[in-house]
Amino acid sequence: MSKDLITDTIFHKRYKIVKLLGQGDFGRVYQARDLRASKDRTFVALKQMPMQMIVDCERQADLAVNLIHPAIPRIFGYFATATHSYLVKQLIQGDNLETVLDQEPGFLPENRVIAWTIQLADVLSYLHTHTPIIR
């Protein structure tokens, strides 16, 4: 995988890199300031993927452009460089599941897990009726 994008640099003539939010086997996600955005969309998540995944990046953007659900981050656009493809997504504040599990001693409270399960079922129902992702 390539080197991280450097904090405080302007990337793609539009995004000021704030920090690395996370990384996995298939890419990294950065918090960036969108220098051209309105005040309600100042910060975005910039998902960096290897160029081999450009088709996946375009597919995600095409599928998600019309999805409007409070539990699904909006995709604002995508672009590619010589080495990577990028999705520009709505930045969702808060801890990820890994952080929550690390902070919780023992098992999570049952009511919390049930609430997440209901939210997840709602998202899957929405996707089922709006996209060809789940058949």
Token pair 């789940």 in the structure block, residue: 134
Question: Tens-digit pLDDT profile for the chain (135 aa)?
Answer: 456 789 999 988 999 999 999 888 888 999 999 998 877 668 999 999 887 766 666 766 677 777 888 888 888 888 888 888 888 999 988 888 888 999 988 999 999 999 999 999 999 898 888 766 555
Residue 122 structural domain:
99-135
Same domain, 42 and 106: no
CATH of the domain at 85: 3.30.200.20
Same domain, 108 and 59: no
Using a 10 angstrom Cβ sphere, with 0-12 exposed, 13-18 middle and 19 or more buried, the burial of residue 20 is middle
| Amino acid 1: pLDDT | 46
Same domain, 112 and 85: no
Same domain, 59 and 21: yes
Same domain, 17 and 83: yes
Query: b or e along 23-42 (b: 16 or more beta carbons within 10 Å of the residue's beta carbon)?
Result: eeeebbbbbbbbeeeeeeee
Same domain, 51 and 65: yes
Task: Kindly write down the DSSP assignment for every residue of 82-124, as one continuous string.
Answer: SSEEEEEEEPPPS--HHHHHHHS-SSPPHHHHHHHHHHHHHHH
Same domain, 54 and 113: no
Secondary structure of residue 31 in the 3-state scheme: strand
- Tally of structural domains, the chain: 2
Same domain, 1 and 15: yes
Same domain, 108 and 70: no
